[in-house]
Every structure is written in structure tokens, then in C-alpha cells.
Amino acid sequence: MGTISASIFLLLLSLCFTPLLLCNAAADSTTNPAQAPHSSPLLRQQRQPRRSASHNYKDALTKSIMFFEGQRSGKLPPNQRITWRKDSGLSDGSAANVDLVGGYYDAGDNVKFGFPMAFTTTMLSWSVIEFGGLMKGELMNAKEAIRWATDYLLKATAKPDTIYVQVGDATKDHACWERAEDMDTPRSVFKVDKNNPGTEVAAETAAALAAASLVFRKCDPTYSKTLVKRAIRVFEFADKYRGSYSNGGLRPWVCPYYCSVSGYEDELLWGAAWLHKATKNAKYLNYIQVNGQTLGASEMDNTFCWDNKHAGARILLSKAFLVQKVQSLHDYKGHADNFICSLIPGTSTSQSQYTPGLNFNEFLSFIPSGIIINRWK
């Protein structure tokens, strides 16, 4: 899960800034918090004078992005910064006569799990979409990390109604501790298709491609169009051929490693939300409106992880309500409120515990004044 942890770190800013609007129970989307008579204590904290943070989060950002270079599989580029990592997995996919070279290894394994890799890609993309302008010298490295994943996901989805979701036998891989450059464990290939569906991995892959298309929309429009076109096709496959990839023939291979417990409904909602954001096509908004409740939009599951995307979908759709004034998405803001406020220290509904480190006041002071509100205008 190493790649997932790093991607979630990069999105930490956007997930922690969002609540300063969502948790302000007195202010609606047009209220200026500085003028709100009943603004929350969190917003009043944000307006206090800043003091310098004692932690080097610039260095943490650099190392988090560099981590992905250490997880790379395939033919490495000349600008590879982690020089002890060499080419590996150059015949991946050959067992199924397809090209699956590239992508990322999972954690300390030599297995490429498509489900968490796609989620990692979505999260990395969301980080750049929301806060790429603050990444400065790391922005290009973050985009390269995303492209390394999407190049692989394009290969894995090249065949219509088929997604190659895993390379490597996890059980045998876990039984043999070795460098990726030296691995001699089986490079077995596993796929989902219309006869053996995998809705959750397919919809997450669609979300990843759609989110990444937004990252490259201005800097590489041709690549962006390729990504969103593929995302549309993959989502159609996910929705048309419904079934969990971990309840069918792949169960012995994907479980207990990345077994889907939450079902696939959250990924369908998440994927539709990202396609709505990427395409502005009304059919995805209609899909969300018609299917939202059956896909668990109102379930009280305050969890956001590689297996459960409900909370992330609610936050994404809440922004569409707040910024784009899509009134039909109003209810998603209320559900997002519940999740976000459960994470923030000092709120009456806080359910989270934190390790020592940056406290919330420091967290606010580390961010340039006004950025929280400006990012939502």
C-alpha cells in the first residue's frame, strides 16, 4: 500500500482545506466567512496571524513524489532520480500476449495490482488539480508520476471490454523477498472482461483516466483527449457488465490482498463524478441523479480509502454544487459535511486521532492567507 499512502499525503491539503467551508454551518456557498456573524471557530483560527511552521513540508512533498520513482516498473527514463532502481518487468504481459510493461509495483512487492494503482492515480491527479499551483518545482515531477501510471492504464485497457488488472502471483511473490530487477517469480496476468466482470476496478480505472485528463488538458491536450476518451469507454464497460472482481474467478488471486469489501457501487458513483468533472457532459450528471441513492450516496460510511470512495465522491460533487451551482447536488454537501467534520480536531463530531506532528493551527499558518476560500471561488 506504499504508493497509496504517498498519494493520499499529496491530497492531504485539499482534504483538510475543504472542511473550512463545509464545516461552516452558518455560511452558504456565497457567504464571505470573514463577514459571517456565526462563522465556525476553525474559520476564526484561519484568520489569526500566521506563524512559521517548524516542519519542512516542502521536503516531505519532494520525497513523497520521489517515492513513486522507486516504485516504477519497466524501462526507466534517463531522468530517473532514484538511480539504484534499474529496468525490470520488461516482459510483463507476455504470458497473455499483451504489453503490460510499466506501471508501479505495490509497496514492497513486485506485483502490479491494478485496483490500488488506479486509485493512487486518481488521488495524485486530484492533488495536482487542486494544488498543482503550489507544488512549484515538484509540479513537473508530479505530472510525470501520473503519466507513468496512465501510460500503463492505457495499455491495460487497450482491448475493448477487457482490463488487465494484475501482473504477478501475489502469494508466490510474498514468499520470496527479492529485488524487482532480479525477480524470478511468475509474472502471471489476470484480467476482467464481460464474462468475468470487475466493476470496481473498471470504474476506478475510468476515474483515474478522467482525473488525469484534467491534469494534462492544457499542457498536453492530445494526451488529455486520449485519456478522457478511454475513460468514457472503460466506464461504460464497468456499468454495463456489473460484478465484483473479487467475488468471481479472480478471488484466489486478488484476495486477501486487495479484496473489495465495500462493493462496486462507490466506484460507479466516484467514476461518474470524475467523468462529469472531466467532460461536463450532462449524461453523467443525470446518471448521478438517477443512480446516486442506489449507489450509496447517502450511506453513513465515513471512510475514504482504496476500497471505499463514497466520501471522496461526496466531496467532489459538493464542489460542483458550491462552485458550479449545480443545485441538484445539494444533498452531497450535507453528506460531505458529516465526513469532513469527523476528521477535523476541535469539532463536536470529530472522530479522528492524530500522531504527533503538525497541529491544526500550524497547518493553517503554513498555508498562505486566503487560499482556502480562493480555491473555492
- Please state, in angstroms and rounded to a whole number, the distance separating the CA atoms of residues 153 and 169: 19
Give the model's confidence band at 15: pLDDT under 50 very low, under 70 low, under 90 confident, else very high: very low
- Please state, in angstroms and rounded to a whole number, the distance separating the CA atoms of residues 216 and 121: 13
Q: Please list the residues that pair with 190 across neighbouring strands.
A: 166
pLDDT of 34 higher than 80: no
pLDDT of 356 higher than 90: no
Q: Report the top-level CATH class of 2-50+57-374.
A: mainly alpha
Q: Please list the residues that pair with 74 across neighbouring strands.
A: 88
Burial letters for 7-46: b for 16+ Cβ neighbours within 10 Å, e otherwise? bbbbbbbbbbbbbbbbbbeebeeeeebeebeebbebbeeb
pTM, two decimal places: 0.82
Higher pLDDT pick, 292 / 213 = 213
pLDDT digits (tens, 9 = 90+) for 40-94: 333 344 444 445 457 788 899 999 999 999 999 999 999 999 999 999 999 999 9
CB 248 within 8 A of CB 196: yes
Over 187-253, what HEC string results? CCEEEEECCCCCHHHHHHHHHHHHHHHHHCCCCCHHHHHHHHHHHHHHHHHHHHCCCCCCCCCCHHH
- Please state, in angstroms and rounded to a whole number, the distance separating the CA atoms of residues 231 and 212: 10
Delimit the domains of the chain by residue range.
2-50+57-374
CB 239 within 8 A of CB 199: yes
Number of CB atoms found within 10 A of residue 325's CB: 10
pLDDT digits (tens, 9 = 90+) for 107-143: 889 999 999 999 999 999 999 999 999 999 999 999 9
Q: For position 347, what pLDDT does the model report?
A: 73
Sign of the torsion formed by the C-alpha atoms of 171, 176, 177 and 183: negative
Q: In a 3-state reduction of DSSP, which class is residue 56?
A: coil
Q: For position 20, what pLDDT does the model report?
A: 35
DSSP H helix total and E strand total for the chain: 16, 3
Q: What is the DSSP string of 245-290?
A: TTSSTTHHHHTTTS---S-SHHHHHHHHHHHHHHH--HHHHHHHHH
Most confident range, picked from 48-62, 196-210, 342-356: 196-210
* Amino acid identity for residue 53 in this structure: A
